[in-house]
Amino acid sequence: MGVFASTDDPGSTGHEQVVFCQDKQTGLKAIIGIYSTALGPALGGTRFYPYVSEEAALADVLDLSRGMAYKNALAGLDLGGGKAVIWGDPEQIKSEALLRAYGRFVESLAGRYYTACDVGTYVADMDMIARETRYVTGRSVEHGGAGDSSILTAWGVFQGMRAAAEHVWGAPTLAGRRVGVAGLGKVGKYLTGHLLDDGAEVVATDVNPKALEWVRTTHPQVELVDDASALVAADIDVYAPCALGGALNDDTVPALRAKVVTGAANNQLAHPGIEKLLADRGILYAPDYVVNAGGVIQVADEIEGFNFDRAKLRATKIYDTTREILRLADDEGVPPAVAADRLAERRMADVGRLRTIRLR
């Protein structure tokens, strides 16, 4: 995959900037990818992961940073899209010095990129990185941060699901519907609470016995099934993938009995073409990056000085955005994932263009 976009290189990605950072002493090897700053500084988390190769790390950061540009655009944020990866095993090499070295590289970009938590990085790591850079979100409440982003992620997924329910059944509620939640982690737990409060029946599964124990004691009315395949084949109205990516694939989509898919997991479509398979089966898929934007909305709010109520209000708008995308998909005769991409690209072009109007 080439980074530089050119008309005769269809494999090029069109990223604005890709920065390789190294600090030999601490073992830091990081790549920061900035896909677009058309709407503002690029925001996206730092993934700390033992990639098999530098090529794999680069491919991931290019892919993830592009995804963040689309997610932030549709979340209505004045932020572009970026992401970073630290190549290495966090269990082995994560240290104060490594995180602070990384923070200095983030600072060196002078605000073109804001970082946040992702797989392998936590709130405490952001607090550490913040000792070297101003351009960090996802810090702890004690350090002026937004804390646990799964709270508004779950709230946003619930709003997206309400919009999908309205599109299919005519009313923006899950009352009386059976919703299958795959993954009772940080997001799945909050989502289960919102669904039960709304009057839905919840069927769930998780591979972690602790998560199952939590649901048995907190919400004994939740029905549990053995695994995600059993959930897919269960008699449910809505399927909510809240564990890992690739939940919608060539095996699960033909077996799925739900009419709606709305969940928190990133990259739910295992490969391009799955969105068409879903549409052909008459299953409405609310795109993951639209409905799971509550977390980025929550941490982005830190840039203005965190205010939970304001962030929640913004995350509630995921209901309106999902509605608009589903309507656009119908009007243009395309799957919702395609309509969402079009809407994001339109906002990046229309609002991004305004910066060409000189202010002085």
Ligand X SMILES: NC(=O)c1ccc[n+]([C@@H]2O[C@H](COP(=O)([O-])OP(=O)(O)OC[C@H]3O[C@@H](n4cnc5c(N)ncnc54)[C@H](O)[C@@H]3O)[C@@H](O)[C@H]2O)c1
Indicate which residues carry an active-site annotation: 83
Cα(89)–Cα(142) distance, rounded to whole angstroms?
A: 28
| Minimal CB distance residue for ligand X | 185
Binding flags for ligand X, 112-141, as an x/- string (CB under 6 A): ------------------------------
Cα(135)–Cα(292) distance, rounded to whole angstroms?
A: 23
H/E stretch holding 85 reads strand 80-87
The minimum distance between CB 157 and ligand X, in angstroms, equals 8
**Non-local CB neighbours of 140 within 8 Å, separated by 6+ positions:** 123, 124, 126, 127, 147
Using CB under 6 A, pick the residue from 40, 295, 335, 336 that binds ligand X: 295
Q: Phi and psi dihedrals of 13, rounded to 5? A: -105, -20
Using CB under 6 A, pick the residue from 6, 22, 208, 218 that binds ligand X: 208
Q: Report the amino acid identity of residue 4.
A: F
Q: Which stretch binds ligand X (CB under 6 A): 83-91, 124-132, 205-213, 322-330?
A: 205-213
The minimum distance between CB 332 and ligand X, in angstroms, equals 27
Q: Which stretch binds ligand X (CB under 6 A): 3-11, 31-39, 203-211, 274-282?
A: 203-211
Q: Report the amino acid identity of residue 162.
A: R
Q: Is 188 in the site for ligand X (CB under 6 A)?
A: yes
E strand segments, 131-187: 178-182
Q: Is 292 in the site for ligand X (CB under 6 A)?
A: yes
Q: How many residues bind ligand X (CB under 6 A)?
A: 24
Contact at 8 Å (CB) between 191 and 184? Answer: no
Q: Is 264 in the site for ligand X (CB under 6 A)?
A: yes
- Taking the alpha carbons of 357, 35, 140, 30 in that order, is the dihedral positive or negative? negative
Nearer to ligand X, 22 or 208 (CB): 208
Q: Is 3 in the site for ligand X (CB under 6 A)?
A: no
Q: Retrieve residue 224's tokens.
A: 């549990």
Using CB under 6 A, pick the residue from 110, 124, 171, 207 that binds ligand X: 207
Q: Is 34 in the site for ligand X (CB under 6 A)?
A: no
Nearer to ligand X, 48 or 105 (CB): 48
The minimum distance between CB 182 and ligand X, in angstroms, equals 5
Q: Is 244 in the site for ligand X (CB under 6 A)?
A: yes
Contact at 8 Å (CB) between 149 and 206? Answer: no
Q: Which stretch binds ligand X (CB under 6 A): 107-115, 120-128, 181-189, 306-314?
A: 181-189
Using CB under 6 A as the binding rule, the residues of this chain from 335 to 354 that contact ligand X are none
- Nearest CA to 293 out of 264, 270, 268, 258 is that of 264
Q: Do strands 284-285 and 260-261 pair parallel, antiparallel, or not at all (unpaired)?
A: parallel
Q: Phi and psi dihedrals of 99, rounded to 5? A: -65, -40
Residue numbers at the binding site for ligand X (CB under 6 A):
149-150, 153, 182-188, 205-208, 211, 228, 242-244, 264-266, 292, 295
